[in-house]
Amino acid sequence: MKREEARRRAKELVSQMTVEERAGQLKYDAPAIERLGIPAYNWWGESLHGVARAGIATVFPQAVGMAAAFDDELLEQIADCISTEGRAKYNAYSAENDRDIYKGLTFWSPNVNIFRDPRWGRGHETYGEDPYLTSRLGVAYVKGLQGDGEVMKAAACAKHFAVHSGPEAVRHEFNAEASAKDMEETYLPAFEALVTEAHVEAVMGAYNRTNGEPCCGSKTLMQDILRGRWGFEGHYVSDCWAIADFHSHHMVTSTPAESAAMALNAGCDLNCGNTYLHLLAAYEQGLVTEEAITEAAVRLYTTRYMLGLFDKTQYDSIPYDVVECKEHMALADKITKESLVLLKNDGILPIDISRVKTIGVIGPNANSRRALMGNYHGTSSEYITVSEGIQRYAEGRARVLFSEGCALFEEKTENLAFEGDRLAEARIVAKNSDIVVLCLGLDETLEGEEGDTGNSYASGDKVDLLLPKVQRDLMEAVALVGKPVICCLMAGSAIDLSYAAEHFNAIVQLWYPGARGGKSIAEVLFGEVSPSGKLPVTFYNGLEQLPEFTDYAMKGRTYRYMEGEAQYPFGFGLTYGRVAVTEAVVAEVSDKKEPFGLPEVKVRVVAANSGTCDTDDVIQIYVKNTDSAHAVKNPALCAFQRIHVKAGQSVEVELTVSDRAFTVVNDNGERIADGEHFKLYAGTMQPDARSRELTGMEPVEMDICL
């Protein structure tokens, strides 16, 4: 249904409501209006990596893990699967007259905030630190979720607008100060792409203030940028209870009525929370007009009509049995395998199971279901941990020994035991094994959203980049045994891996790999498929490389602006093959396009696999403006494509670098064309010295004058 028709019908329906009824529809738990035949509707739904919090669903890897696949086409397919399951569940729940929270078709995903600091606990909800990668993956997700049918299949929501990435502990009172240049260059591009390219139906405001204005009451963000500059036509929703922060924490208003008025007048249509219970008081006090209440209600009902909630639709017949169906499970398996990032390998991987009799599986995350999931997750009908995956794969071929080794962060696993009560067992298992798979890391209790985690001392953020001390002790205990060790890290953010890099034979970043991730991981470890993920975030050597957490200036942050050397760089990831770009040329330069007066450029790339294993890999193109003083410090990602190359063979692909990639942002926050000379780099990693050192390969450089 076109928006014009949906809005016409919405205005007609809303006109039949009283002011009180209209105001009541602006809360996330909108009540029924029986006299008009309108059922209750709860707007709060989650689908970050599968339909969440609404019962059984396919649980895909956490968002940052899916980002590591650098596979926008697959992510669009996954988002389509998520909306299919969302429709199936909505159909079934509605038939039972169950209109509870998390059971609607408005999903508050994706999170396209920039993961600018590895301490942020919610960073694993994002697609990483790069605005271009985040934009491409976010657009793919929104298109897949919303579909292209006669009505919208499900409604996506870009969050959290804008400039939001910790610290969690002060988010309700914090003012994120960002320059006009950083706003346009880093914090806004993904949101702009989701609005202007993918036509995302909703945008959620952040808890914090941005440059002095609460994000859920910011006329700059909502009116000037979102609806003004970008032409956003959907609805705006507050983060949950964020409007109450106006008077409780930001202290920019004095009463709930004033807070409700500030949000509504700025353009916030929907309140996740209860502050809009005071809208009628604000109306009676003359703080808001009937027209403002009406417009918000019309926007919300426009979305409901675009979803076909008052009509028969092509999606009404989607049966419940699509939930966790074979096809969706296969996609989860595929992206889990694509997401794994091989950071080190001295040749120990893949494991040759014909040469090992006993495999030791050790670590607090080896048999942890929680470490499979990340946060904002659904419920799976089956979980396969790393330990279980290895046991299933090795059954009948090798013995698998197991030890938890230590608790995730507590000093002991049994209350009455001494500290380190599982270290001796870990040493015993290692001594009796031919090879050790050591599973370390975090889970949603240590990194996540403030209020949702067990990490109350840091409100879900990390205080440093180290693993908990008990896990560091476990690493040392296992290393001293002297057996070959594969370190598997389950975490959603950068961890200091310097000890593992020095003492262990291989390191694999598993992220939070999804409900059945253990099966996929085992198949990669044993060589059924080659790992091919790339880091969507920088792994730093320590906090000394980073500015203060509360400093939102981008100087020194992420691969585009960092001064020193990364431990493991953005875009890095090894495979069991050896894929290198052997040739790259500018194949075509288009006519210059508006509004920047710059062309698109097509780059033809040849990549060869000189290894002995077939593998996927990711071609990455980076651009550096060599003329402009406004250019970002380091080359920036501007195109990528996942490829498959058989051993001893090569493939040829063509990638398009958009005209926008050749722009710069000046200090006034204006995106402009400035300079004629550019360098393009084509490789399977970024063109920094550390990536060259780790891979032993060089990207192909191209000079171009536009």
Catalytic residue status for 239: yes
The residue type found at 370 is R
User: Which stretches within 413-532 are classed as H helix?
Assistant: 423-431, 469-481, 498-503, 517-525
Q: Which CB contacts under 8 angstroms, 24+ apart, belong to 16-23?
A: 17/297, 19/280, 19/283, 19/290, 19/293, 20/280, 22/293, 22/294, 22/296, 22/297, 23/276, 23/279, 23/280, 23/283, 23/293
Q: Which one is catalytic: 85, 129, 239, 333?
A: 239
The residue type found at 705 is C
- DSSP at 423: H
- N-terminal to C-terminal alpha carbon distance within the chain: 42
Q: Which one is catalytic: 447, 461, 523, 616?
A: 447
Supply the Cα-derived Rg of the chain in whole angstroms. 26
Our CA angle for 51, 53, 55, nearest 5°, is 80
Q: Tell me if 341 sits within 8 A of 380, measured CB to CB.
A: no
Q: Which two tokens stand for residue 177?
A: 């100060």
Q: H-helix or E-strand containing 402? A: strand 399-403
Length of the chain in terms of residues written: 706
Beta strand spans in 529-663 (E): 579-589, 601-609, 615-625, 636-645, 650-657
Is the Cα torsion angle 321, 323, 327, 329 positive or negative in sign? negative
Q: Tell me if 190 sits within 8 A of 235, measured CB to CB.
A: no
For residue 408, is it left (φ>0), alpha (ψ between -120 and 50) or beta?
alpha
Rounded CA-CA distance 415/101 in Å is: 38
Catalytic residue status for 447: yes
User: Which stretches within 176-311 are classed as H helix?
Assistant: 180-182, 189-196, 219, 245, 256-266, 279-284, 290-306
Supply the residues annotated as catalytic.
Answer: 239, 447
